[in-house]
Amino acid sequence: MRRVQHRPPMPDFPDTLIAARDAIAARQISAVELTKDLLARIEKLEPSIGAYLSVTTDHAIAQAKLVDEGKRSGPLAGVPVAIKDNLCTTFGTTTCASRMLENFRSPYDATVVRKLDDAGAIVLGKTNLDEFAMGSSTENSAFHVTRNPWDTSRVPGGSSGGSAAAVAAGTAIAALGSDTGGSIRQPAALCGIVGLKPTYGRVSRYGLVAFASSLDQVGPFGRTVADAAAMLNVIAGHDPKDSTSVSNEVPDYLADLDTPLKNLRIGVPRILEQGIDADVNRAVSAAIEKYKELGASIVEVDLPHAEYGIAAYYVIAPCEASSNLARYDGVHYGHRTREPVNDILELYSKSRAEGFGAEVQRRIMIGTYALSSGYYDAYYVSALRMRALIKRDFDQAFAKCDVILTPTSPTPAFKIGEKSTDPLAMYLVDVFTVTCNIAGIPGISLPAGFTAGPTPLPIGIQLLGPVFSEPMLLRAAAMYESATDWHTRRPKLV
């Protein structure tokens, strides 16, 4: 892997969560100063990146003032973060990057937003996404595209592309995203940062606008593994408002983070290398070598049903989406047509046709079709059977290894427009990420190199672990991170 020298554009404020938290605690910088530095950086860089859908300046400064006055405290006191715009906030709007919810103001905060607030964090704004989190490039936003800070002619990944781009560009210290089939890990990989999808049920989904409820999970973006762990410390835990959240005790994910794992067994699936970009392959092989140097042993594992992951995911997710999105009819929720209508059905259909973009409509149609009588067994039930087999593959693999290592994405960031007219090509981008959601296990993406081109693009590796193995997963990731310097690189921004 070529070593790339990226000089300055280091902002002159601490740009990792741990550094920012410590600088504020030591009173080297005030929360208001740091928040204003970030807001100034947003103003400077947003025209070329477009990571945010809304910036909540007044709210952020007011929250920061309270930290400086000692009226708000906690493990993230004064740390400015960004929130994906499918998480409900009582301040500002919650649009899901959809015309359908363009003016929606939530009457309540998502539990994760509440928890960040209780921890003293400052919310800078709401970030761009593919409409209703459906997509892998953030091009499906109804409002604007988000550009990759490493190369603004390329996508940041998706659907949480706004959150990933904000952290990579240094216009947020950390961020929240949601991951239904890869939407945290894939943009993290394409933007050169860390992204974690927790175990299903580890983090509350209350106030996360539902896409596919059995797959959705909220998780953090950070520059480093420790930053992601610090965020998970705050957002994890049981929530009486989400019956699928679990009451397992929340460990301190930062506690043993720097203690390397002894006898770590890394599983590498045999399917690797087909249809994967050459630079990505090289980075994955180099990461495997690095882990060997660190004392890990490599075991080959079989995931015989992984190849059906995309097919199963693109039935299950649209089925659940078609049901979840039925509420946006212009009456219960969302945009209502101004066109004259003859009856209630016409009101529904016109409102939905105007409010939803092409990809969302495609998913609703696929899901409704697959769930309809006569097709239900052929599609939905088959996909659920495949889901059980994919889960069993992981159970069998984790009997032989502690974590599984794969690329996060088969390619680095692709050009804006390159795949946006070919939905199937876009769906294949998720080949390494969807099985994790299907099985409900945790997965993390971390920086593992750069492409060799004239404009180096970040490459990510993914580590997967058994349910509730986040402490081990984070430690395994931290081991690699501390032996490499990819996470210290910064994009050259204007």
Q: Could you list the residues that contact ligand GLN (CB under 6 A)?
A: 133-136, 159, 178-183, 211, 317, 430
On the CB side of 50, how many CA atoms lie within 13 Å of its CA?
A: 18
Q: Are 212 and 316 in contact (CB under 8 A)?
A: yes
**d(C-alpha 184, C-alpha 128), whole Å:** 13
Q: Are 179 and 197 in contact (CB under 8 A)?
A: yes
Q: Are 236 and 219 in contact (CB under 8 A)?
A: no
* Lookup: tokens for 122: 């400052």
Nearer Cβ to ligand GLN (54/180) = 180
To ligand GLN, the closest distance from the beta carbon of 212 in angstroms equals 8
Nearer Cβ to ligand GLN (56/409) = 409
To ligand GLN, the closest distance from the beta carbon of 413 in angstroms equals 14
Q: What are phi and psi of 62, to 5 degrees?
A: -60, -40
Catalytic residue among 54, 183, 409, 445: 183
Cβ neighbours for 243, distance < 8 A, ≥ 6 positions apart: none
Nearer Cβ to ligand GLN (75/367) = 367
Cβ neighbours for 104, distance < 8 A, ≥ 6 positions apart: 93, 94, 95, 333, 334
To ligand GLN, the closest distance from the beta carbon of 180 in angstroms equals 4
| 84 catalytic residue (yes or no) | yes
Which whole-number Å values give the CA distances from 64 to 42, 70, 109, 457, 481, in the listed order? 17, 10, 19, 34, 31
Nearer Cβ to ligand GLN (111/160) = 160
Ranked by CB distance to ligand GLN, the top (closest) residue is: 183
Which whole-number Å values give the CA distances from 407 to 95, 120, 412, in the listed order? 32, 35, 10
Catalytic residue among 54, 84, 115, 420: 84
To ligand GLN, the closest distance from the beta carbon of 83 in angstroms equals 15
Chain-centre distance of CA 71, in angstroms? 31
To ligand GLN, the closest distance from the beta carbon of 135 in angstroms equals 5
| 419 catalytic residue (yes or no) | no
Nearer Cβ to ligand GLN (317/473) = 317
**Catalytic residue positions, numbered:** 84, 159, 183
